[in-house]
Amino acid sequence: MTTTAETPYGLGHLDALESEAVHIFREVAGEFERPVILFSGGKDSILMLHLALKAFTPAPVPFPLLHVDTGHNFPEVIAYRDRAVAAHGLTLHVASVQEYIDRGVLRERPDGTRNPLQTVPLTEAIQHERFDAVFGGGRRDEEKARAKERVFSLRDEFSQWDPRRQRPELWQLYNGRHAPGEHVRVFPLSNWTELDVWQYIARENIELPEIYFAHRREVFDRGGMWLTAGDWGGPKDDETVEKRQVRYRTVGDMSCTGAVDSDAGTLDQVIAEITASRLTERGATRADDKLSEAAMEDRKREGYF
Amino acid sequence: MSAVATEVGTLRLATAGSVDDGKSTLVGRLLHDSKSVLADQLESISRTGTPDLALLTDGLRAEREQGITIDVAHRYFATPRRRFILADTPGHVQYTRNMVTGASTAELTIILVDARNGVVEQTRRHAAIAALLRVPHVVLAVNKMDLVGYEESAFAAIAAQFDALAAELGITRVTAVPVSALAGDNVVEPSARMDWYGGPTVLEHLETVEVAAESPDAPARLPVQYVIRHDGIRYYAGQLVSGTLRVGDAVTVHPSGRTSTVTALDVLGAAVDVAPAGASLTVRLADELDVARGDLIAPDERAPTATRDLRGAVCHLADRPLVVGQRVLVRHTTRTVRAVVRSLGPAERLTANDLGEAVLRTAEPVVVDDYAAIRRTGAFLLVDPVDGMTLTAGMAVC
């Protein structure tokens, strides 16, 4: 911690969020046998790793990482992932969507999007490695189904989420009891907003993949979003590629994560841009959430992140 | 000023009220008028033309289909002065457990009443829950003032009625505000139609109300979550849930009763001499003691109570009942112990949403404070040992 900014009412909001997340990491370390951190190389998972490092300092993080690899990766993000794993002496598990497609277990979708295809490799990796607590970077401010999510969210052997049967969660008393084969999804960033994440990243001077900052990139327009041209299947014949100054607000599968026009090249500029934005980060950049009113709810029920 | 330097405080609040009281509209209005609703969200609730602010808070398919709020939803908004975490809870009796859940972490609760109906049975229940959960501040939002002609007398009568109820329940800090959530009066912007009202709008009050959840001189309490071992040194990791802790403090480790002295405090990588309430930290002690998860480190003075007879007020949460003689797990601070339900009141059997009292006999001692004095060391849950279901919320009395 760099400063304990004490407001008249106790901890400053970033210190309070940090303390809460660390408390959650330590609860899991104390209660579970085989936890794992979902790590995509996106800013929320980078933030989770940073908080986990702080929670167990001076000892190393006692959990491995799990990356569900769609095969449609930004090279900068994979390079970042590998550097982070090496720097902190972590173990990395990779569940590969491409491998499932090659084996014929999963089929490519007509729209080329692999985001929904991640659920099966994720679930099977959890079962195979017998992970009992799975940290995800989901935040309640992201989406309205997520606003109803618990910090400790019980999943059955198929990873299914049933919003009508969630355990009540009171005070900071998290209930991690589960049967063999079940696991608990744990969301230490539940109470963070996008702006909190960026403010904290700036305060802690956390390194991010370059694609979060403005750069020139070859993109094309699909459904009102700037997608990166690449092997994954874009652009189609009627779509034209152009060079634009963009940055990514979220990082996911290349086929459904859009860039936004931006000149924000530094953390302070990114924060100023988000403060002024009139779109949520998912509304601006995620094609999969535009599918229907309950797209996220449906994917979550099936075991998605 | 750099955006990075802006550290503000956080207020956690809960809302209680039913659809009929206009709760969702009030919450929608707070979010909308504080500019926390963005264009794509507005678009999604404006399919019929004008935005329906109530739809902002209904997240699940079933809720939209039935037009009711079922589960606790968390909402986030901020002003330059403060950051808010809002637990939006449904109001009907069958959702009492959700209200209790929302109130458990709240420093302030907004209770809505319909200006045409005044204090009704549901209002009494909401106030009782705020009192039971020891939510330090209550805002009474007298809504739908537009439907009573913005009359001061209507507001004054309801405010007086509620003050009497609050006094009965021991709620000391009540602020009543006349509002129309639908028209926007006194939610964020002051009303031009109620110039007889000189107090703050709801948002102004939320921004300025002083929240010190525990009294500043409350004793230190550090439940040990995890022991970090590194280079032969043992660091006891936990969140300081009450009071302040200093290097040099004489402490007792409960329930063993062994004593030692704090030799080092470390707040997430920074060595400090004093740590404030709420901080996650590690502590090192002068003596080699057997300290484990579930222990509680506290100063020698004003010690907590170690007991195997745990008594408390309870709210039953689960659909299956709680009965006398039932075997349960008590989940308290970082400790989980086996227990049996010795007695229940007012009935021998509690069903979902019932409020009552319970006495439990625990297999090992639990180290508790009176919930009224320290929430985090007074709160406990009863859990079903068979399937892990959360059964009952408890607030220790000792």
Is residue A203 included in any domain, yes or no?
Answer: no
**Range from A26-35, B9-18, B180-189, B212-221 carrying the lowest mean pLDDT:** B212-221
Integer Cα distance of B326 and A89 in angstroms: 47
Q: Is the pLDDT of residue B92 over 80?
A: no
Contact B376 A284 (CB under 8 A): no
The answer to whether residue A1 sits within a structural domain is no
pLDDT value at residue A116: 81
For position A7, what pLDDT does the model report? 47
B312 with B293, same domain?
Answer: no
In angstroms, what CA-CA distances link A89 with A56, A80, B293? 14, 14, 26
A158 plus A238 within the same structural domain: no
**B373 domain-assigned:** yes
Nearest-CA distance from B379 to chain A in Å?
7
Q: Is B68 on the interface with A (CB under 8 A)?
A: no
Query: In chain B, which residue's Cα lies nearest the Cα of A180?
Result: B387
Rg (CA), chain B: 23
What's the number of domains chain B is made of? 3
pLDDT > 60? residue B186: yes
Report the alpha-carbon distance of residue B374 to residue B185 in Å, rounded: 37
On whether any CB of chain A is under 8 Å from the CB of B279, the answer is yes
How many CB atoms sit inside 10 A of residue B241's CB? Answer: 25
Does A80 share its domain with A125? yes
B269 contacts A57? CB cut-off 8 A: yes
pLDDT at B51: 60
Decide if A115 is inside a domain. yes
CATH assignment at residue B87: 3.40.50.300
Contacts of B385 by beta carbon, 8 Å cutoff, 6+ apart: B327, B328, B329, B338
Please state, in angstroms and rounded to a whole number, the distance separating the CA atoms of residues A169 and B295.
22
Do the Cβ atoms of A232 and A255 come closer than 8 Å?
yes
- Distance between A169 CA and the closest CA of chain B, angstroms: 6
DSSP A292: -
Distance from CA of A29 to the nearest CA of B (A): 7
B386 touches chain A (CB under 8 A): no
The boundaries of the domain holding residue B288 are: 222-299
Residue of A nearest to B382 (CA): A175
What is the number of H-type helices and E-type strands within chain A? 9, 12
Q: Does the residue B213 lie in any domain? A: no
Residue B55 sits in the same domain as residue B173: yes
Do B6 and A297 make contact, defined as CB atoms within 8 angstroms? no
Same-domain status, B151 and B265? no
Last residue of a domain, one of B208, B231, B249: B208
Q: B268 to chain A nearest CA, in Å? A: 5
Instruction: Report the chain B residue with the minimal C-alpha distance to residue A286.
Output: B40
Is B259 found in the same domain as B162?
no
CATH code of the domain covering residue B237: 2.40.30.10
**Distance from CA of residue B79 to its chain's centroid?**
21
Banded model confidence at residue A3, pLDDT cuts 50, 70, 90: very low
Residues A186 and A246 in one domain: no
Residue A59 domain-assigned?
yes
Using a CB-CB distance cutoff of 8 angstroms, which residues of chain A are in contact with residue B276? 4, 6, 10-11
By CA distance, what is B70's nearest residue in A?
A164
pLDDT of residue A115: 78
Residue A59 CB neighbour total at 10 angstroms: 15
Is residue B155, in this structure, part of any structural domain at all? yes
- Which string of b and e fits B314-346 if b means at least 16 CB within 10 Å? bbbbbeebbeeebebbbbbbbbbbebebeebee
Cα–Cα distance for residue pair B244/B349, rounded to 1 Å: 41
% residues pLDDT > 70 (chain B): 87
Q: How many CA atoms lie within 13 A of A252 on its CB side?
A: 22
Interface of B with A in 364-383 (CB under 8 A): 375-376, 379-381, 383
In-domain check, residue B11: yes
Instruction: Give me the total of CB pairs closer than 8 Å, taking one residue from chain A and one from chain B.
Output: 203
Asked if residue A231 has pLDDT above 80, the reply is no
pLDDT-wise least confident of A6-15, A170-179, B62-71: B62-71
The answer on pLDDT for A286 being more than 80 is no
A199, B212: Cβ pair inside 8 Å? Answer: no
Task: Tell me, yes or no, if B42 comes closer than 8 A to chain A by beta carbon.
Answer: no
Pick from B269, B262, B297, B266: which is nearest to B281 by CA? B266
Residues B197 and B273 grouped into a single domain: no
Is A202 within the bounds of a domain? Answer: no
State whether A142 and A29 are in the same domain.
yes
Domain end residue (candidates: B264, B299, B334):
B299
CA A135 to chain B, closest CA, distance in angstroms equals: 18
Task: Give the CATH number of the domain where residue A185 resides.
Answer: 3.40.50.620
Flag whether B386 is in a domain.
Answer: yes
pLDDT of the residue at B220: 96
Tell me, what's the ipTM?
0.92
Q: Are residues B7 and B136 in the same domain?
A: yes
Nearest beta carbon to residue A30 from set B60, B226, B276: B226
Same domain flag for A29 and A164: yes
Q: Out of A1, A154, A177, whose CB is closest to B267?
A: A1
How many angstroms separate the CA atoms of B258 and B273, rounded? 23
Give pLDDT tens digits for B339-356.
999 999 899 999 999 999
* CB proximity B225 to A under 8 Å: yes
- Lowest average pLDDT, out of A14-23, A154-163, B283-292, goes to A154-163
Residue of chain B with shortest Cα separation from A151: B74
Q: Using one digit for the tens of pLDDT, what is the confidence trace for A40-76?
A: 999 999 999 999 999 999 999 999 999 999 888 888 9
Token pair listed for A203: 């305060």
Whether A262 and A179 share a structural domain: no
Residue B104 at interface with chain A, using a CB cutoff of 8 Å: yes
Q: ∠ CA A87-A88-A91 to the nearest 5 degrees?
A: 110
In a domain, B215, yes or no: no
Contact B337, B329 (CB under 8 A): yes
Asked if A10's CB is within 8 angstroms of B276's CB, the reply is yes
Please tell me whether residues B169 and B271 are part of one structural domain. no
Are B11 and B148 members of one domain? Answer: yes
Let me know if residue B217 belongs to a domain.
no
**Residue A245 lies in domain:** 208-290
Residue B295 and residue B259 share a domain: yes
Record: contact A12-B270, CB cut-off 8 A = no
Model confidence pLDDT, tens digit, residues A139-168 = 998 877 888 889 999 998 888 888 777 899
What is the pLDDT at residue A5? 41
Same-domain status, A87 and A216: no
- Give the residue from chain B lying closest to A21, CA to CA: B280
A16 to chain B: which residues are within 8 Å by CB?
10, 278
